[in-house]
Amino acid sequence: MASSTGTTLDIEARYAWAKSVAQQAAQMGMEFYQQRNDLTVEHKGDDRQDVVSIADKQIEAFIRAQLSEHFPEDGFLGEESGSADLNARCVWVIDPIDGTACFVNGLHNWCVSVGLLVDGEPYLGAIADPNHRELFHGCKGSGAFVNDTPLAVSQARHVREGLTGTGTFHPRGKEHFIPFLQKLLEAGGMFIRNGSGALMTAYVAAGRLIGYYETQLKSWDCVAGLVLVTEAGGRVNDFFRNDGLLDGNPYLVAGPGVYDQLAELIGPSLDG
Ligand code: IPD
Ligand code: CA
Ligand code: CA
């Protein structure tokens, strides 16, 4: 129960709801995914790589409607439909499909990400990946799990000891990405980009990746995952500085033994 300002919040009910709604939404996503050749894909702005479909919009509308029914007093921020009541103590931050480019191209790396901020801090999260039947979830002080199995970050002490997740998008500029890749390779590391920031964050929490750097993420990509990483013993950068909630920021999550090394390889690009 979170109760720092006097009002007691029913965190358990919210945690249960997050897991349930993420899984229901992921099932909806699977139905669209199986019919993906019939979906009309639109491009957001000038970036031809930034895509969206009716699946993203309908899944977000479903989650938003469920939220108004179960926790009408809570705030909301979603990728597709904007925000409401951001001054509420509890604010849900949702990505209805993270990995849309994978989704529309028939690649299985996509998920539904449902995160909750309490008093501005990531507090609980659920990331549902229906293709691999994995539900990643966690709550502050209670640990992080994939299905029922507890998660722990990698104990690697050098980037050469494992795989590092990476990501970027065109507007941020390749100068924040290519030098990092070069230095990572020179240090004996190896990179992977699977197209879903939420899943790569969950994989850091699970110790599958030793760390994950993205030149710029949005809060709906990562609020749920940030809880998982910290609960699993990892480190995260100061993502919420300078209006990160609404504008996004550079992003680094990693096991404690490689966080500083990755931050050094990234250099000033991690600061904005
Ligand atoms: C994208 C994914 C991708 C990341 C992009 C995000 P979307 O989210 O998380 O991994 O590289 O920056 O925009 O558009 O699939 O929800
Ligand atoms: Ca996303
Ligand atoms: Ca999305």
What are 3-36's pLDDT values in tens digits?
545 568 999 999 999 999 999 999 999 999 999 8
Helix/strand/coil for 53: coil
Ligand 1 close to Cβ of residue 95 (< 6 A): yes
Strand partners of residue 42: 52
Ligand 1 close to Cβ of residue 100 (< 6 A): yes
Closest CA to 159 of 196, 200, 205, 212: 212
Taking the complete model, does pTM exceed 0.85, yes or no? yes
Rounded distance between C-alpha atoms, residue 253 and residue 140, angstroms: 17
| Residues 168-201: tens digit of each pLDDT | 988 888 999 999 999 999 999 999 999 999 999 9
Tell me the percentage of the chain whose pLDDT exceeds 90: 88
Fold of 11-150: Fructose-1,6-Bisphosphatase; Chain A, domain 1 (3.30.540)
- Looking at residue 51, what is its pLDDT? 64
Closest CA to 201 of 187, 190, 217, 189: 217
- Looking at residue 170, what is its pLDDT? 85
Tell me the percentage of the chain whose pLDDT exceeds 70: 94
Which ligand has its closest atom nearest to the C-alpha of 219?
2
- Looking at residue 2, what is its pLDDT? 60
In 119-258, the DSSP E strands lie at 121-129, 134-139, 143-146, 149-150, 163-167, 190-192, 211-217, 235-236, 249-254
Give the confidence band of 150 by pLDDT, cuts at 50, 70, 90.
very high
Rounded distance between C-alpha atoms, residue 160 and residue 187, angstroms: 7
Closest CA to 85 of 68, 97, 69, 63: 68
Pairing of strands 211-217, 163-167: parallel
Give me the mean pLDDT over the 83-103 stretch: 96
Fold of 159-270: D-Maltodextrin-Binding Protein; domain 2 (3.40.190)
Ligand 1 close to Cβ of residue 196 (< 6 A): yes
- Looking at residue 4, what is its pLDDT? 46
Ligand 1 close to Cβ of residue 195 (< 6 A): yes
CA 95 / ligand 3 centre spacing (Å):
5
Give me the mean pLDDT over the 142-148 stretch: 98
Give me the mean pLDDT over the 243-270 stretch: 97
Residue bearing tokens 């490689």: 258
Domain(s) labelled CATH 3.40.190.80 in the chain stretch across: 159-270
Rounded distance between C-alpha atoms, residue 89 and residue 83, angstroms: 14
CA 111 / ligand 3 centre spacing (Å):
9
Domain(s) labelled CATH 3.30.540.10 in the chain stretch across: 11-150
Give me the mean pLDDT over the 26-55 stretch: 82
Rounded distance between C-alpha atoms, residue 42 and residue 51, angstroms: 6
- Looking at residue 222, what is its pLDDT? 98
Confirm or deny that 95 is annotated as ligand binding.
yes
